[in-house]
Amino acid sequence: MEVPVTVQWVRTSWTKRSRGGEAAARRNAVPVGFALPDGVAPLAHTVTVREREDFTPVEGRAELKNVDVQLRRVDGRLRVLPRVEPLFGLPPRPRRPPAVRLVPGQWVRWQLNYRFSSAAGMQDWSYWLDTFNIAYGPVTADVFLGTPDFHVDEQGPVR
């Protein structure tokens, strides 16, 4: 029997209007993990949290192939490495951390942030924080509310 993989992708997005004050406090209060809905696998649980929706989480599901993370089973382990997309976002990532290799029963939280400017420079900068919570093996609905076995913080300066 194949070991199940559970993926949760939390994307928080904002503009410079939420870089300080009450809006920043609401943004910073966004959880990095959420309880899983019933029957997620074989799909990913997505949570989108946007400034324009006052940082209210909107939950959904996506096919694993549409999640920006590479998942590969190798020698009984799950190799996890988020993709960095789009390539034009800041901060630059000339050297990335190595992939995490999970054994059954483990999970990883991997965080990446981005800053974008509009092509013509006419709009405000926008920001993203992507948090990937990925478990290898059977899980309970509250798995991503706890402490991960691995935490990779790939956030860089985006001022």
Residues 6+ apart with CB under 8 A from 54: 26
User: What's the first-to-final CA gap in the chain, in angstroms?
Assistant: 47
Of all residues in the chain, what percent carry a pLDDT higher than 90? 62
Render pLDDT for 108-128 as a digit per residue (tens, 0 to 9): 999 998 888 766 555 678 888
pLDDT at 118: 64
Mean pLDDT value of segment 84-97:
72
pLDDT at 36: 96
pLDDT at 127: 87
Mean pLDDT value of segment 52-65:
94
Q: Quickly count helices (H) and strands (E) in the chain.
A: 1, 9
* pTM > 0.85: yes or no: yes
In the chain, % helix, strand, coil (3-state, to 5) comes to 15, 45, 45
If one counts every other C-beta atom within 10 angstroms of the C-beta of residue 27, the result is: 18
Mean pLDDT value of segment 80-97:
77
Pairing of strands 58-63, 106-116: unpaired
Higher pLDDT, 16 or 46: 46
Render pLDDT for 21-34 as a digit per residue (tens, 0 to 9): 888 888 889 999 99
